[in-house]
């Protein structure tokens, strides 16, 4: 990417879209990385040139910064740019990560919601921006939130703390107001690669949650490959464990 930008006239372009997210070190799950994306700053036309996608756009000082010596759009701007050409699920992954990293202030969120009003694909991007939640701690958790939303499940709470008489048990990935059910997403790195000591600690944690009368449902990446089945499992669990009104 650096070589591509360095080959252009200084100040003529800014790295943008998913290419900027790469520079910023944010997750780029589901995004097309087959081309480097830049936005023209010199008023020249857009299009694909030598495998580089040139975009036309109006960038302010707020939209720009230098990352590793390269001029690029901000995290917030790059997330919106990418979201306009991505699915809702992919866009939410990007916004959750940007919010989690503290890179999208509330005033910036409002500004981008306004300036993108007439961009192609912006309606879906703005919906994903509204849905974004920095409490989602991983790509898998973001995808699971979208699955719940798209399959009509109750809106979950994120990172709720539970305690018993011994003190803090820990935070759960998802729980639901009015239901004795928690959902945990087991990412590949979440429990230290599955060492015996970590697995024992996690079993004890889960036993303490169950002792509170909670049903614990564990999910992982493989479950996301079968969204209808996972959604049905969650619907059944919530149906069985709803608290009396």
38 token code pair:
């830049």
What crossing angle do the helices spanning 122-131 and 139-150 adopt, rounded to 10°? 110
Residue 17, C-beta contacts closer than 8 angstroms, at least 6 positions apart: 37, 39, 53, 55, 73, 78, 81, 82, 85
Q: Is the pLDDT of residue 6 over 60?
A: no
- Residue 49 and residue 12 in contact, taking contact as beta carbons nearer than 8 Å: no
pLDDT in tens, 113-145: 888 888 889 999 999 999 999 999 999 999 999
Q: How would you label 94-104 residue by residue, b for 16+ Cβ within 10 Å and e otherwise? A: bbbbbbbeebb
Q: Inform me whether the pLDDT recorded for 236 exceeds 80.
A: yes
How high is the pLDDT of residue 200?
Answer: 83
Percentage with pLDDT > 70 across the chain: 92
pLDDT at 3: 61
- SS3 for 177? coil
CB atoms within 10 A of CB 71: 22
Model pLDDT for residues 201-213, shown as the tens digit of each residue: 888 999 999 999 9
**Residue 195, pLDDT above cutoff 90:** no
Q: What's the pLDDT score for residue 57? A: 83
Most confident of 4-8, 38-42, 131-135, 200-204: 131-135
d(C-alpha 153, C-alpha 245), whole Å: 18
| pLDDT at res. 109 | 85
In CATH, the number for domain 143-240 is 3.40.960.10
Three-state SS at 40:
strand
Backbone angles phi, psi at 202, to 5 degrees: -70, -35
Kindly report the pTM of this predicted structure. 0.89
Residue whose tokens read 């999910």: 219
The pLDDT of residue 169 is above 50: yes
pLDDT tier at 154, thresholds 50, 70, 90: very high
The domain segmentation of the chain, as residue ranges, is 2-134, 143-240
Is the pLDDT at 189 greater than 50, yes or no? no
State whether residue 71 is helix, strand or coil.
strand
């Amino acid at each position: 990417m650096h070589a591509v930008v360095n080959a252009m006239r200084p100040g003529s372009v800014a790295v943008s879209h998913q290419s900027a997210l790469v520079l910023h070190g944010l997750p780029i799950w589901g995004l097309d990385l087959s081309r480097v994306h830049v936005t023209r700053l010199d008023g020249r036309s857009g299009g694909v040139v030598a495998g580089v996608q040139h975009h036309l756009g109006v960038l302010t000082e707020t939209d720009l910064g230098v990352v590793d010596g390269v001029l690029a759009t901000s995290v917030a701007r790059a997330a919106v740019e990418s979201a306009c050409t991505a699915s809702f699920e992919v866009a939410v992954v990007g916004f959750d990560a940007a919010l989690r990293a503290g890179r999208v202030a509330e005033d910036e969120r409002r500004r981008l919601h306004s300036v993108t009003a007439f961009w192609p694909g912006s309606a879906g991007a703005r919906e994903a921006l509204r849905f974004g939640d920095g409490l989602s701690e991983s790509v898998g958790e973001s995808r699971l939130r979208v699955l719940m939303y798209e399959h009509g499940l109750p809106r979950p709470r994120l990172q709720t703390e539970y305690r018993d008489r011994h003190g803090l048990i820990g935070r759960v990935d998802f729980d639901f107001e009015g239901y004795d059910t928690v959902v945990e997403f087991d990412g590949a790195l979440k429990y230290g690669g599955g060492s015996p000591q970590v697995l024992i600690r996690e079993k004890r944690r889960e036993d303490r949650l169950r002792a509170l009368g909670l049903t614990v449902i564990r999910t992982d990446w493989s479950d996301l490959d079968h969204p209808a089945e996972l959604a049905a499992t969650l619907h059944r669990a919530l149906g069985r464990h709803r608290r009396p009104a």
